[in-house]
Amino acid sequence: MKKKVGVSEVVGSLLVFAVIVSTASFLYVMAYPTMKKTQDELNYRNALSNLFEVKEIMKRVKSGNEPMAMKKIPLGGGSISVVKNAVTFQVGSETFTAGDLMIRIAGRELYLEGSGIFERQEGIYSILINMPDIEFIKNGSECDLYLNVYNITGNYSAGGKETTITVSLEGENDYQTATPPLKIYSEFIDEWEKAFNDAAESSGCNPTISKVAGNHVKVEGVRKIMVARYDVGVR
115-128: pLDDT as tens digits:
999 999 988 999 99
Q: By percentage, how much of the chain surpasses pLDDT 70?
A: 84
pLDDT band at 32 (very low <50, low <70, confident <90, very high): very low
Residue 15 or residue 28, greater confidence: 15
Tell whether the model's pLDDT for residue 139 goes beyond 60. yes
Is pLDDT at 189 greater than 70 in this prediction? yes
Q: Which of 6-10, 26-30, 179-183 has the lowest mean pLDDT?
A: 26-30
Strands 68-74 and 162-178: antiparallel
The C-alpha atoms of residue 146 and residue 231 are separated, in whole angstroms, by 17
pLDDT averaged over the chain? 88
**23 has pLDDT over 80:** no
Write b or e for each residue in 201-210: b if 16 or more Cβ atoms lie within 10 A of its Cβ, otherwise e: eebebebebe
**Mean pLDDT to the nearest integer, 21-38:** 52
Q: Residue 17, exposed/middle/buried by CB under 10 A (0-12, 13-18, 19+)?
A: exposed
Task: Give buried/exposed letters for 151-168 (b at 16+ CB in 10 A, else e).
Answer: bbbbebeeeeeebebebb
- State the amino acid at position 76 in one-letter form: G
Mean pLDDT, residues 89-97 taken together: 92
* Cβ proximity of 54 and 68 under 8 Å: no
**Above 70 in pLDDT, residue 216?**
yes
pTM: 0.84
Q: How far apart are CA 10 and CA 23, in angstroms?
A: 20
Strands 224-234 and 142-153: parallel
Q: How confident is the model at residue 175 (pLDDT cuts 50, 70, 90)?
A: confident
More confident residue, 1 or 173: 173
- What integer pLDDT is reported at residue 72 of this predicted model? 93
Across 59-87, b (16+ Cβ under 10 Å) vs e yields bebbeeeeeebeeebbbbebebbbbeebb
The H-or-E segment that residue 45 falls in is helix 2-63
